[in-house]
Every structure is written in structure tokens, then in C-alpha cells.
Structure 1
Amino acid sequence: MDDTPKPKQERSLRTRAALLDAAVEELLARGYAELSTAGVARRAGVSRGAQQHHFASKDELLIEAVRELAARRMTELRDGIAADAPVAERIRRTLDLALEQYAGPLFATTLELALAARGSEELRAAIADGERTVGPQIQAMGRELLGGTGHDPAVVDARWTMAVSTARGYASLILLGHPPDRVRAQWSSACDDLVALLLRD
């Protein structure tokens, strides 16, 4: 059986992908309050009818955009790690990337959506699902990085959770408006300690 998408299906998939890209870009540029489905359609270069065919409501569009945001956050993390570097360097790089990811626009947009979603049970559930996807993947990265250290898996998980939570805490200071250079300088020192702890016998 030939499962190759037909031209009409391919156009439909491209339109859907363009709408999701545009929704994420609109969220990053305008935030939840200013986002409109008409604006998303304009940015995607499609008609309102095409937009409504794929996503009947703003919440339906945002639910899929949340999933796209989660996927992009993981891609940012994984793409920035050099697989052939020494383990200490890879750990340091991963934690630095976690800080930047949690301090960056993709996570900030997710937080904004979480706050705005209080009136939408479906949107809240989508955000929770996205975080349940990202969290285990970040945890799995820790196991990959520390799998050859000989540590007990439970110890690895506990230490890695603490390290990532620390990165998230420093990132929240940046999101709250603290001077980024000062926060990153403080983080640099703390990260040295975290790498040493993660590799400690």
C-alpha cells in the first residue's frame, strides 16, 4: 500500500505547519493577549478560511502551538551539545544551555500561556502535557551524560534534578529583570560546583 502523501495532503500539511510556525512567532512577538487568529493567518500567508479549517478556535491553535514550543525547546537543548567533548564539558554545556533555555523567549512564552490558560482547561492540560514531555527528556539527558560514571541511577537522577532546578532558578532571576550579566556570573560559579557534585563519587 502506498502511504506517500498526495499533493492535496502535502499542501494541507504545509499549511498546518505554516500556521503553527506563525502561531509560535506571534506568541513570541506579541504575547498571548495580543495574539489573534487573523494575525496568525496573515503571518502564515494563508486565508482565514484555511486557518479555520485547520484550527477552529484560538485555543485549538494554541494547544498545538504549545506542543510545538515544547519540541523546539528540546531541539535547542540537544542541538547545542557536542557529543565528542569530555563528560565534564558536556555537562557544563548542557547546564548552560538549560539556563539559557529557561531564560529565553520560548520558555517565557510557555509561562505566559500557563498564566493566561487559567480560563481554559484544555489549554492548561496541553501546557501540562508539554512540560511532562520536556521534563523526562531533560532527565534522560542527565542519564545519558552521567551513565558512564558508575553512579547509582537514583543518585544520578536526584543530582541531575537538583542541577537543572538550580539552572531554572537562576534563569527565573533573568526573567524577573535582574541584571543578566550579574546573574550569569553568579551562575558560572554555581555551575562549577554543580559539575563537581555530579561527577563526585
Structure 2
Amino acid sequence: MERLRLVAGWVAGCAAGVYTGIKIVWVAGGTLGLSDPSAAGTAEWIVANVVTGAIGLMGVLVALALTQRWGLRVPAWLIAMPMWVGTGLLTPFIMLGPLLVFSLTSDESLQGWVFGVVYGSFAVLGISLLVAVALYTRARWPELFRGTTRDVARGATHSVQVPLAWVAGIVAAGPAVVRGSWLFGGTFGLSGAARQEWRGRWTRWACCSPSAPRWGCWP
């Protein structure tokens, strides 16, 4: 298990490093992967790439923490917080990776391979972090994997946590159901123009072909 944790962590670090490396090149003035170099160099471009590059660097650091001995001593929240954020950011790329690579791009200023490399690295990063953090947790807090949740004494806030969990679950279920219907071609809640646009997008998405017209989904 220790070897698998190390491998998963290093794979995650490399995947995050690919994204971060591209951002560093762009911030430094490079034109790697740019179809229209004139789009680079503006203040907005630099700020956006510095911010997203910093997020990528955070992914590298978290991956290192999951593989190194010093990572077993860092405060738990330094691991938990980035993982919590990363779950929301990376899950779509894990679930829909091939579709995203083939279909989701509308930025003509970037060469096509950039989307494949970046989205592919996101999928690899998400899967490898999932494995690494599970094994990291087992190595750092082995007592959590002994027995069942029934063996854990209820805390003082248990009576509050349960109803809050139910409320959060119900609130989250609504958007999940609606977006799930959109995934399978539904148009519930969409206006007339948006409905027609989504139907066209969904058709091309369902084809999942590199030759299909590319369309934008991610801002």
C-alpha cells in the first residue's frame, strides 16, 4: 500500500505539474499552444494565468505532501481544504473526460492539443489524488479504518449535524437532478433560446467525435 501511495502521489504531482508548467510559460511570455499570440500579454491574461497557475502549484504541493514523510505531520486542514476544493473542480473531468477532450472547446486562440493535454491531466490528477489521499489517510489515521461508524461514540453536536446533513442533501439534490437531466438531453428549466442551443450542444456531445464541431461549455 505504501508503494501504491507513493506512485499515486507522484503521478498526481506530475499531472498538476503539466498544467502549472503551461501557465508558467504563458506568464513568462511564451506562446506555447497559442494559435493567436496577440491574445497573450494583457494584464487580464497574466493575472488569470498567475491565479490558475497558483492553483496548479497547490496541486503539486498537496501531491508531494501525500507522498513524503513530512506530509504525515502537516496540519490536517492543509490537506483537507485543497482536496475539498479539488473535488469540485476535478470531478467533471474524471466523469466526462473523453467527452470534454473531444467536444468542449470554443477558444480559437488556443491550439487543439492544449485542451487534450490540460483536460487529460485534470482527469489523471483527480484519479491519482483520490487513490493517494485514501492511502494517506489510512497511513496517518489507521484507527479510522478499524471497526464501523457504529463503534464511534456520538459527539455533542450529533443532534444538530444529522438534520443539517439532511437539509444539505436535499438542497444539493435539486440542482443535481436538473443538471443530470441536462446531461441526458433534457431541457427542463431552460428558456426557448437556451433550449435550442443546448439541444444542439448535447447532440454534438453525444456523438463524441473528434470531427464533430467544437462547442464551449467551460468559461
TM-score scaled to structure 2, two decimals? 0.30
Structure scoring higher RCO (CA < 8 A, sep ≥ 6) equals 2
Identify, as 1 or 2, the structure richer in helix.
1
